[in-house]
Amino acid sequence: MPSQIISRVKQLITLCTALIFIGISNLFAQVDHWETIVYDSSSWRYVVPNASTSMNWIQPGFNASAWNTGNGGFGFADGDDGTTIPTSSISVFARKEFTISDLSIIKKVILNMDYDDAFVAYINGVEVVRNGITSAGQPTYNQLGEISHEARLYQNQYPDQFYFDIADFPAPLVQGVNVICVEVHNQTAASSDLSCRPFLSVGVNNSNTSYYPTPTWFIPPVSLSTSTLPIVVLNTNNIEIPDEPKIHATMGIIFNGDGNLNSITDPYNEFYGEIGIERRGSSSNGFPMKSYGLETWGPDSSNYNVSIFDWPSDNDWILYAPYTDKSLIRNILTYHIGNQMGNYSPRTKLCEVVLNNEYIGVYVFMERIKINPGRVNIDPLLPQDTLENELTGGYIVKVDKTTAGGIVAWTSPHLASAPSTNTIKYQLHDPEITELQPAQLEYIQNYITAWEDTLAGNNFLDPVDGFRKFIDVQSFIDFMLVNELSKNVDGYRISTFLHKKRFSEGGKLVAGPLWDFNLGWGNANYCLGGDTTGWEIDFNNYCAGGLDNPFWWKRMLEDSLYANEVNCRWFNLRNSILSNDYLTNYIDSLAAVLEVPAARNYSKWPILGTYVWPNNFIGQTYQEEIDFMKSWTIGRLAWMDNNMFGSCTNVGLENIASNAIIFYPNPTNSSLKIAGLNGTDVLIIKDVFGKIITKETINSQSTIDLSELQNGLYLIELLQNKTTTKIILNR
């Protein structure tokens, strides 16, 4: 789409949505405190229907005197039911009257619902919210839920929360007597449990007590009016976001530029449109703060490529919730290092998120790993690519858990690193295994197996026919150094991505992109993850389990040349982007931006000073979390300096190894110098779309002038040395 059309579309979106913001300030009307009007454990009228029930049962005037009376919640098998109903129950209907003494003081309403498996809630005969039953109208008594949803309170987790401004509340609350009605349906007639535990709470605008205290688990909502971070507003019409599949929603992003204030009443000027959204993650899916995967959709719910934050256009995005990472920045730091090394890592943007009018915290908006000219820049593999050069790429494979729905494509004939006796299992990431032709799957499996066979064989050191002919060695060195620096307990054995280029692009297997480092940087209290000492490649020696490190990493270090290359690369980077000052300053810069947003995040999620799996350090304040991360990093750097593999002479900036050419400083505000270049070379500068901007001959004494270029990301290539580096110009 031409840029002028995109610009016009954004203008129209701004105009069309302007009216939305006239009343949006009502969403953040002042609330003095919260009180609960209806508890699950109160006395309710209920029925376990075995025949059709009058549709009027949700109405205020319905005569429920023939129904049972009992204390909620209602259900069976979870051990927290106030009233136990028969284990064969498909559904339960419950209703309760409550009185509002002064409607004018109520500004917000929250329905907390703990349920198994699906429910519909009504107030005064009007539906408020439902989940797990998509058909319109009132369900029949024997209608089954469409999802499997486990109750949470009995597991010491938070129940689902549905948050409303009083002006937008679907039901007409009245001063005086009101009625709340809830029906819960099981997913199957033979389900092992059922739960129905509703709570109705209100935010009032004065300090008087009119109703009852909120439950002990209740967390008052946090209001967001302005932020120095982009504000992402999601709306699912109060439908709970499932693990899968994606559901329809809308997303608006308010972003007035780095360093500028964003207000919730500003127009959606960065993005506004339809999306499909689902929860994502494996172990993180059990945290109350959820991560989300989303696709930008067109009007017909098909994928629609857009550029967000001026990133390369795509339709796959992630809102990552750094719940267990109390610094909020471990992934951002890691991907920044990866990019500064000259390797693609997902772009990230800190933001604050509002979901269905409820503030849900500080998130990281980021790219999903996939084949794309702006992401993993290799030729895409199409279904018809089954011969010759086209068959040889591109593939993205991974070694990872299967708990999030992953499918094992093949199992390596070689075991994980000794002393482990576990196997290495490969998954296809892009394209997915279901999209591959048999010849394509056979090719990538045979290629990686040939690399492993060679690496495990006696001839693996051969400079021509050894392991090097299969892989991009530099990428494996960089991948290892980042995993070791962060001491990532999931490193190597989980979330390890490899991608394969076509022969016309060089043909080799490349390590990366980097992914999922929230348990690194001293954040894990198991498998020595909190120690600044020890090598993560030795994981299998002291923490063997079902998922162990592949043998490749330790085997390649048996090659003295490879070990020396690791050493040279490490000490080269220690002079620049891995210096103590560079890393601590970068961490401090992120923490400064997060000072106010982090305080808001930890008001929403009050976990500072509290253990959250698998925290190694528990800071009482956000600053303590940042200080720990910096001190841990300095300790880790020192240990690696003293214990680094191999040896390398003359590794200062004046005379470093020829395979470790760097441009510095990076980022820069005006010019670059070069280190590690022997003789002369032809330098080419390209923009992110591959357009050549300048071409010149340089040597090790050259200063590369960038003063005529606009701020942004650029690619620098050296023709003779065949190196490509990404640099950032930021004045």
Q: Specify the pLDDT at position 688.
A: 53
Question: Alpha carbon 353 to chain centroid distance?
Answer: 13
- Please answer whether residues 171 and 129 qualify as being in contact, where contact means their C-beta atoms are separated by less than 8 angstroms: no
Question: Is 108 in the same domain as 169?
Answer: yes
Reading the block at residue 620, the tokens are 């009482």
C-alpha distances (whole Å) from 81 to each of 74, 98, 151, 152, 668 are: 6, 21, 11, 13, 62
The Cα–Cα gap between 229 and 134 comes to 35
Residue 194 CA, distance from chain mean position: 31
Both 713 and 598 in one domain: the answer is no
**79 and 180: one domain?**
yes
Residue 212 domain flag: no
* Residues with pLDDT less than 70, the chain: 1-29, 283-284, 649-660, 688-690, 712-713, 731
**Residue at which a domain ends, from 580, 613, 643:** 643
Please check whether residues 227 and 196 belong to one and the same domain: no
Residues 638 and 703 in one domain: no
Looking only at the bridges linking them, the beta strands covering 231-235 and 348-355 are parallel
- 327 shares a domain with 288: yes
Q: Quick one: pLDDT at residue 689? A: 54
pLDDT at residue 660, rounded to an integer: 67
What pLDDT does residue 182 have? 98
Judge if 522 and 636 occupy the same domain. yes
Phi-psi region of 522 (alpha: psi -120 to 50; beta: other; left: phi over 0): left
On whether residue 653 sits in a domain, the answer given is: no
Can you give the CATH number for the domain in which 667 is found?
2.60.40.3080
Q: Which domain holds residue 90?
A: 32-204
- Predicted confidence at residue 673, as pLDDT, reads 84
For the chain, the straight-line distance linking the first and the last C-alpha, in angstroms and rounded, comes to: 30
Q: Which of 335, 367, 399 is the last residue of a domain?
A: 367
Residue 54 sits in the same domain as residue 88: yes
Cα distances (angstroms) measured from residue 421 to each of 129, 259, 441, 504: 51, 52, 26, 38
pLDDT score recorded for residue 649: 66
CB atoms within 10 A of CB 189: 10
User: Does residue 188 belong to any structural domain of this protein?
Assistant: yes
Same domain assignment for residues 610 and 701: no
Cα(41)–Cα(378) distance, rounded to whole angstroms? 59
pLDDT at 725: 79
Answer yes or no: do 14 and 42 share one domain.
no
Using alpha carbons, select from 484, 424, 429, 492 the residue that is nearest to residue 452: 424
Structural domain includes residue 108: yes
Angle at 489 (CA atoms; ends 577, 585), nearest 5 degrees: 25
Rounded to whole angstroms, how far apart are CA atoms 510 and 345?
13
Cis peptide before 60 (omega within 30 of 0): no
365-414 per-position pLDDT tens digit: 999 999 999 999 999 999 999 999 999 999 999 999 998 789 999 999 99
> Can you give the CATH number for the domain in which 44 is found?
2.60.120.260
Q: Are residues 228 and 318 in the same domain?
A: yes
Q: How high is the pLDDT of residue 175?
A: 96
pLDDT value at position 650?
43
Smallest CA-to-CA distance from 509 within 572, 544, 542, 556 is with 556
Give the chain's domain count.
Answer: 4
**Which burial class, exposed, middle or buried, applies to 348 when counting CB atoms under 10 A from its CB (0-12, 13-18, 19+)?**
buried
Residue at which a domain ends, from 594, 614, 643 = 643
Determine, yes or no, domain membership for 313: yes
Q: Do 180 and 241 belong together in one domain? A: no
Q: Is residue 377 part of a domain?
A: no
Q: Confirm whether 213 is domain-assigned.
A: no
Question: Could you tell me if residue 673 is inside a domain?
Answer: yes
